[in-house]
Amino acid sequence: MTFQAALKNTANEIEVMLDGLLSLETSRAPRVTEAMRYSALAQGKRLRPFFVSESARILGADRQQALRVGAALECIHCYSLVHDDLPAMDDDDLRRGKPTCHIAYDEATAILAGDGLLTVAFEIVADPATHKDGAVRAELALELARASGHNGMVGGQMLDLAAEQKHSHDLDEIIAIQSLKTGALFRFSLEGGAILAQAGADDRATMRTFADKIGLAFQIADDILDVESSPEQLGKATQKDADAGKATFIDLFGLDGARQKAGTLADEACDLLAAYGDKADTLREAARFIVERKN
């Protein structure tokens, strides 16, 4: 199966799974569940679930279980967008071509919907349906919490806000921020499949390093898109970083330099997968896609 077909397949399956997991019928507080659904069933690329499912496939874990971990990751990713879009944070009105959660509902509901999505992610991974071995479920919950918490994604978001204020242009600092803000969840998405497969330390390390490379490539590509695309193409506001005086990889490398750097990272990421042969072809295509995508 080609990468695009595999990505589309996973996105469809995740949509169905999230629809079931965020059930309105069994909801005790329909408004917040609706707002969670509004934000999570918003047809993103579902890259993170795709990575879990590919890592799981390559290392021999069950696909349905991998999709559950992917759904949990998507809940974390979507909650972070809902909270980042709030007026006190990035103050964005548009996300994936739709009004952001606090515009469609209100700020209080958006805060609660984000909290609900964050929490339900742990409900999903800790549920016996995710793996029969409790130690695997607990490890998934532990690593997901580390990746998304104050020493992971939340910490990256905090550092990013601070960097904006002080107009930092230090390369190491920008990479460190990216590694937390975007990288930590990418890392968990690739390692999550390995945890499900109860793979050894070598496989886990390979998946983590692959994730680091493509995570950084992803962020560089994001910066390129931010200056090259229109809001219509991206479904969200562009040039926000430049407007906010935030240093981007373009400032550091120039546009061509940034393209080249992203390409090199994708090459390096692909090389890491040599031991998995053809089985890793879709993942290699994904690495290419990340640096060449148009939205």
Q: Is 26 a binder of a second copy (CB under 8 A)?
A: yes
Q: By CB under 8 A, is residue 141 in contact with a second copy?
A: yes
Q: Hey, is 94 helix, strand or coil?
A: strand
The tokens for 294 are: 């148009």
Q: Alpha helices of 151-243 — where are they, by DSSP H?
A: 153-166, 171-178, 184-196, 201-228, 231-234, 240-243
Applying CB under 8 A, the span of 55-63, 134-142, 196-204, 251-259 interacting with a second copy comes to 134-142
24 lines the binding site for a second copy (CB under 8 A): no
Residue type, 34: E
CB of 209 to a second copy, least distance (A): 19
Choose between 70 and 183: whose C-beta lies nearer to a second copy: 183
* CA distance linking residue 171 with residue 149, whole number of Å: 23
Neighbouring C-beta atoms of residue 245, cutoff 10 Å: 12
- Measure the CA–CA gap between 84 and 68, rounded to whole angstroms: 24
Decide whether 107 or 271 has the Cβ nearer to a second copy: 107
Q: Does 29 bind a second copy (CB under 8 A)?
A: yes
If the CB atoms of residues 120 and 250 are measured against a second copy, the closer one turns out to be: 120
For 173, 182, 225, 281, the CA distances from 131, given in Å and listed in that order, are 38, 26, 38, 26
Provide the terminal-to-terminal Cα distance of the chain, rounded to the nearest Å.
22
Of 7-15, 127-135, 185-193, 209-217, the window that binds a second copy (rule: CB under 8 A) is: 127-135
Binding mask 80-119 for a second copy (x = CB under 8 A): ---x--x-xx----------------xxxx-xx-xxx-xx
Distance, CA of 67 to chain centre? 14
Touching a second copy, residues 168-197 (CB under 8 A): 180
**C-alpha angle with apex 124: 61 to 18, nearest 5 degrees?**
95
Specify the residue, 6 or 136, whose C-beta has the smaller distance to a second copy: 136
Q: How far is Cα 164 from Cα 88, in angstroms, rounded to an integer?
A: 14
**Among 4, 5, 150, 166, which residue interacts with a second copy (rule: CB under 8 A)?**
150
Which is closer to a second copy, CB of 89 or CB of 255? 89
CA–CA gap between residue 176 and residue 212 (Å, rounded): 11
Residues near a second copy, by CB under 8 A: 26-29, 31-33, 36, 79, 83, 86, 88-89, 106-109, 111-112, 114-116, 118-120, 122-123, 125-128, 133-139, 141-142, 144-146, 148-152, 154-159, 161-162, 180
